[in-house]
Structure 1
Amino acid sequence: MTITNQKSIKNRRILSGILTCTALALAYAPIPGLNQKIIVVSGTEFAEPLQQIETQFEQKYPQINLELKFQGSQDIINNYIDQKNDFNPTVLIPTNAALLDELNQRWQSQNNTQAFYQQPKAIAKTFLVGIAWPERGKILFPNGKFSWQQLEKAMEAGSWQKIGGKQQWGSFDFITTDPTRSNSGQITMNLWAQSKGSKNLNTPTVESLFSTVKRSVYLPPRSTDILLQEFIARGPNDADVATVYESIALYRWQQSGAAQNKPYQIYYLNPTVETVATAAVVRRDVNGGTANAAGKFVDFLTQPEQQKVFVQYGFRPTHGNIDLLSVTNSPWNQNIPGAQVNPQITTLPAPQPSVLGEIQKLWQRVQ
C-alpha cells in the first residue's frame, strides 16, 4: 500500500469519527430556535405542586415546554405498557418507585431492553394515613390510634349505631381507591391483609377481607386525590373514614374545614408504608435530545427550592435535609389534628411488583 493510500484511509477514518461525534451531539443538543416538548405523567396528588414548579422550570428553561398529565399511579404503568394513552409520555412519576420496577420488568419481558434512559430519581415521599371526621373518629378509634380490626368490625356491622355511634349517622362508609388503578388502594389492602398475621394473600381469611371491603366500597375512585376531594364534598354520613396519603391529607385539610365546618383528623397507621415518588425518563418514542431536556426537569425537581414546594403541599423531601417546620407555609406549622413531624411509627418497604399484581388479581376475583 502506498503512503498516499495510507494517508487517504487515515483521513477518511478521522472524518468518519468527526461525523459520528457531530451526529451524537446533534441528537442530544437542542436545535437553536426550536422549543422542545416533554410530556410528564404523574399521580394526581402531584397536580398542584407540579403546576407551580412548571412555571418556575419554564422560566429557567424557556426553550423547554412542559405538558402535565395526571393519572392514578397504577394507571400510569398500565396505560404506558398497553399504549392506551393518546400521547407519548416522556417522564413518568408514579407515587411509588416499586411501580417503575413493575413497568421495567413488564417492558423487558416484551422488548428485551431497558425501559428508561437513566436510573429513576426519587423526588418526594409520603406515608399512607387514615382520616376520619372528629366525632366519628372518637367512636371508631377511642384510644386515638388507627386500628384495622376496629375498621373491619365497623364495616361488618354496617351502621354507626351498632358500634356505639349515633343513629342519625346512618351507615358506616369507608373509602379507599381502586386497587387495580391506584397505589394507595393497593397499599391499603396489603397492610390490612398483613394485620391478619400473614403475608400470604391467598388465604380464606384474606379473601374474605377483600370481599368485605369490595362490597362496602361503592365505585372506588381511580386516584387518591380524587378520593379525598370526594370525601370532603360528601362529608359525614356519606364518607366517614378513608385511607389516603399524608401529603394530600395535610394539603386539603383546610379545604375540609371550609366545606364541612369541622375538618377531619389524621391518624398514622402503624405500621405504614412510606411511598417514594420517583421520576423516570422513558425510551419509547423519545429521542436523545428530548431525553436530555427531560433529564433537566427531573434534576430540577430534586433541587432545594423545588423540594420546599413539595413540602408546602405536604410531601416529605428526598433531598437536602430540609427542616419541615422551617419551610414557609409548611402544613406542619398549621396545628392540623393528628399531624406529626416525626410520628413514632414503623415504616415498611413498598410492596414488590409481584405482590401488587396479586392484590389486583384478588380484588378482581372476589365478589
Structure 2
Amino acid sequence: MVILGFLLAVGGVFYLSRHGNTSSDTGSSGAGSTGPSRPSAPVPVTEISFLYSTEKKEWVEAAAVLFQQENPSVKVTLVGRGSLDAAQGILEGREKPTVWSPADTAVLRMLESDWATERTRGPLFAQDGEDAPQPLVITPLVFVVWEDRANVLLKANEGKAVSWRVIHQAVASDQGWPAVGGKAEWGFVKLGHTDPTRSNSGLQAMLLATLEYYHKRSGLTVGDLLDPKYQEWIRQLEKGVSKFEASSGTFMTDMVRFGPSRYDIAVVYENLAISQIANAQERWGTLKVYYPPLTLWSDHPAAVLQADWVTEAQKEAARKWVKFLRSRPMQERALKFGFRPADPSVPIKTADADNPFTRLADHGILVEVPPVAEVPQGPVVRNLLAMWTRVVGSQR
C-alpha cells in the first residue's frame, strides 16, 4: 500500500507539471488563454523619399503599392517633379531625396556637373555599385503628327522621314503650310514642345534639332552652340511654337482635345503618344507616330544619393526599392504603361492583346527605333539651355 501510494503521488505531480506547461504555452500564443498576452515588439520602419519625373507617375504609383505590401519595414514617400525643376531643387537644397530618378541621363549629368563646382561637397552620385545610377524604363522621343500633315512633310522630304529640317522649312516660311505643299486653310505650321528650361522633353527636342543641324550623332561642343547661323536657325524653328508648356502631357492632351487647330506636330515621349493615340480616333482624323532620323532615349536613371542627409539605413532601404522597380514583374508591368523595359531580357513584343507595341503598330509604333544619339556632357547641356534662353526665351 505504501509503494502504491508513492507511485500515485509521483504520477499526480508529473500530470500537474505537464498540464501547467501546456496552459502556459497556450497562454503565450494567445489561443485559449484567459491571462494577458504580451504585446509584440514594433517593427522598425525606415522612411525614404523617391523624387521622380512625372512621366512615369502611373507606373511608379502602382509599383509603390505592391512594394509596401511586401516590405512593411520601408516607407516610400513619392514626390513627382519635372526633371529640370527637381535638379535645380536638389542643387539649391530645396529637395533632399533619398533616391532621384529624372527622365534621362542628360539632366543627371548636368546636375552632377553643377554639384561638382562646389568643392566642399563630395560626389552626389556613386560611380559604381548598387548606388550608381541605373535605368528603370526607357522611351524614345517621337513626333506625333496628324496623318494628312505628315504626308505633306514626307513628300517635301522625298519620302524619307519627318525630320527637323523639313519641319524648320515649313515653320520658318511666312507662307505657312503652302510653302511645303500643304493646304492654305491649314494656316501656319503649329509645332508643340515643352519649355527646354523646365521640361526634359523640350531639352531633348533642342538636342536632337541641334544634332541634325550639324549632321552629328555625338560630339556636340559648346563651340557649336555659339555659331550665329545656328542660333538664327533655332530662332526660326521656334517661331512655330505658340506656347512652351511646362509639361509634355499638357499639350499632348490639348492636341487630342482641340485637334489640328491647336497643334499640327508635337514632340513627346513615345509612352505619352501611346497613352493618347486611342483618344484621338474618331475626333479629328488619324494621329500617327513618326520617329525622327535620330532619336534620344529617356532612360529614367535611378540614383541613391550620396549626400549627407541620407543615412546608411536609408541607403539600404533605397537599394531594395530600386531593385524592386528593376525586377522582372515590374519591368513587364511597365509595358502596359507604354514604356520599354530597361531589362533587355524582358521582351517588348508579347502575346498579350493589350501590348501597345503590337496593338498600335498601324499608328506608327515601332519595336526597332532609329539610331540613338549620344548624350552630351553636363557643360554642353547647360550652355544649350543658356543659348535657348538668350535666343528664344528672352523674346517671349
TM over 0.5: yes
Cα shift at 1:214 = 3.7
Per mean C-alpha deviation after superposition, the further-off stretch among 192-201 and 132-141 is 192-201
Distance across 1 between alignment mates of 2:252 and 2:179: 26
Instruction: Answer yes or no: is 1:81 the counterpart of 2:103.
Output: no
Identify the residue that residue 262 of structure 1 maps to in structure 2.
Answer: 285
Identify the residue that residue 338 of structure 1 maps to in structure 2.
Answer: 364
CA RMSD for the aligned pairs?
2.2
Cα shift at 1:268 = 0.8
Q: Deviations over 1:299-324 (max 9, x none)?
A: 11111011112222222222151111
Contact 1:73 1:223 in 2 (8 A): no
Residues 66 and 227 of structure 1, relative CA distance in 2, 3 Å threshold: farther
Cα shift at 1:187 = 1.9
Cα shift at 1:352 = 1.9
Instruction: Answer yes or no: is 1:116 the counterpart of 2:108.
Output: no
Alignment gaps of 5+ in structure 2: 1-40
Cα shift at 1:57 = 1.0
Distance across 2 between alignment mates of 1:35 and 1:235: 49
- Structure-to-structure mapping, 1:232-271, within 5 angstroms: 232-257=256-281, 260-271=283-294
Identify the residue that residue 150 of structure 1 maps to in structure 2.
Answer: 166
Alignment gaps of 5+ in structure 1: 1-30
Contact 1:125 1:277 in 2 (8 A): yes
* TM-score normalised according to structure 2 size: 0.78
Instruction: Answer yes or no: is 1:40 the counterpart of 2:64.
Output: no
Give the partner amino acid of 2:166: Q
Contact 2:141 2:201 in 1 (8 A): yes
Distance across 2 between alignment mates of 1:359 and 1:98: 12
Residues 235 and 295 of structure 1, relative CA distance in 2, 3 Å threshold: same
Contact 1:176 1:217 in 2 (8 A): yes
Give the partner amino acid of 1:147: S
* TM-score normalised according to structure 1 size: 0.84
Distance across 1 between alignment mates of 2:379 and 2:245: 23
Distance across 1 between alignment mates of 2:249 and 2:371: 24
Distance across 1 between alignment mates of 2:255 and 2:81: 18
Q: Deviations over 1:134-186 (max 9, x none)?
A: 11111222326212121001111253244332333233110111111222212
Give the partner amino acid of 1:281: V
Contact 2:113 2:379 in 1 (8 A): no
Distance across 1 between alignment mates of 2:239 and 2:81: 25
Contact 2:110 2:382 in 1 (8 A): no
Cα shift at 1:287 = 1.8
Instruction: Answer yes or no: is 1:297 the counterpart of 2:321.
Output: yes
Identify the residue that residue 96 of structure 1 maps to in structure 2.
Answer: 104
Instruction: Answer yes or no: is 1:139 the counterpart of 2:152.
Output: yes
Distance across 2 between alignment mates of 1:40 and 1:213: 36
Instruction: Answer yes or no: is 1:351 the counterpart of 2:367.
Output: no
Larger radius of gyration: 2
Contact 2:134 2:302 in 1 (8 A): yes
- Structure-to-structure mapping, 1:6-17, within 5 angstroms: none
Distance across 1 between alignment mates of 2:274 and 2:208: 21
Instruction: Answer yes or no: is 1:274 the counterpart of 2:297.
Output: yes
Identify the residue that residue 71 of structure 1 maps to in structure 2.
Answer: 81
- Structure-to-structure mapping, 1:286-325, within 5 angstroms: 286-325=310-349
Residues 263 and 60 of structure 1, relative CA distance in 2, 3 Å threshold: farther
Instruction: Answer yes or no: is 1:230 the counterpart of 2:247.
Output: no
